[in-house]
């Protein structure tokens, strides 16, 4: 493998991640939010947070198998294997890496389209809160497919924790976003070391990991409830509900873009050539 090619790809990856951070460092509040924020009842925040929390627990515990039936998992795994074999045979080059990116982008576009129908559709009929389990399912489905595109599983507890961290971090802004991004990068390095050097780096205790997941579900649910608070309020009205429905789309785009960056980062670390 060409170290030069890998180094170039790694520099490009860091530039893309920095671009994401710069674009989201400011909390850009849509103008329509300013028109409704004073009308939102204080209880809605807690209601949303509870709904997202329950949705995560339900999907993680019971619905993963159901979600897998909504996309061609085996076909995507096969495509990943084809791309990885080509990379191994032809060597590490940008054009081969783009094939993995292409698969990830395809799934993002597809699931954003699904979210558009779901969010705007519920907005047209004046439903806000009832669509949360559906939104969470589409969100997790999107991340699952991105993970597969880069050759990663999503079923273990440590992968669930990683996914929850992605969701929470992607929705932050300012210095908090940078701090959490650094924490996530450290977690990525930890996972990479555990995979490459299992005898040197022990896995996290299952009980500790279970507690971490429970706490991170709370954090991620809180982040989503903050992000979608006003959208869900507006979505619950039949007159302008379609505006609130677009909040789902914006949220999904932001999270899946960030997820794609972080799974590619893990992929590149996995491909990193050994030092001579």
Cβ partners under 8 Å of residue 90, min gap 6: 96
Split at pLDDT 50, 70, 90, the class of 247 is confident
Residue 49 pLDDT: 78
Asked whether the predicted pLDDT for residue 121 surpasses 50, the reply is no
- Quick one: CA torsion of 213, 162, 253, 243, rounded to 10 degrees? 10
Task: Give pLDDT tens digits for 128-163.
Answer: 444 678 888 888 989 999 999 999 999 899 999 999
Q: How many Å apart are CA 194 and CA 180, to the nearest integer? A: 21
Model-level pTM?
0.85
Tell whether the model's pLDDT for residue 36 goes beyond 70: no
User: Where does residue 258 rank: exposed (0-12), middle (13-18), buried (19+ CB within 10 A)?
Assistant: buried
In this predicted structure, what is the pLDDT of residue 110? 80
């Amino acid at each position: 493998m060409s170290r030069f090619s890998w180094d170039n790809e790694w520099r490009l990856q860091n530039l893309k991640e920095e671009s994401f951070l710069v674009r989201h460092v400011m909390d850009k509040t849509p103008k329509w939010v300013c028109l409704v924020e004073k009308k939102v009842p204080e209880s809605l925040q807690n209601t949303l947070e509870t709904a997202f929390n329950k949705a995560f627990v339900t999907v993680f515990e019971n619905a993963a198998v159901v979600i897998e039936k909504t996309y061609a998992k085996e076909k995507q795994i096969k495509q990943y294997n084809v791309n990885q074999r080509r990379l191994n045979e032809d060597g590490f080059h940008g054009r081969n890496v783009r094939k993995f990116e292409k698969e990830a982008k395809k799934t993002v576009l597809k699931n954003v389209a699904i979210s558009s129908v779901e969010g705007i559709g519920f907005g047209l009929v004046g439903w806000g809160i009832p669509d949360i389990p559906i939104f969470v399912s589409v969100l997790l489905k999107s991340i699952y497919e991105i993970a597969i595109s880069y050759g990663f599983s999503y079923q273990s507890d440590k992968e669930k924790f990683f996914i929850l961290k992605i969701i929470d971090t992607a929705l932050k802004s300012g210095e908090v976003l940078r701090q959490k991004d650094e924490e996530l990068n450290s977690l990525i390095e930890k996972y990479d070391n555990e995979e490459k050097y299992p005898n040197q780096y022990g896995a996290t205790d299952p009980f500790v990991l279970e507690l971490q997941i429970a706490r991170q579900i709370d954090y991620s649910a809180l982040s989503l409830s903050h992000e979608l608070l006003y959208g869900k309020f507006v979505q619950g009205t039949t007159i302008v509900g379609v505006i609130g429905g677009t909040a789902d789309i914006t949220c999904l785009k932001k999270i899946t873009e960030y997820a794609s960056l972080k799974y590619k980062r893990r992929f590149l670390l996995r491909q990193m050539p050994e030092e001579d």
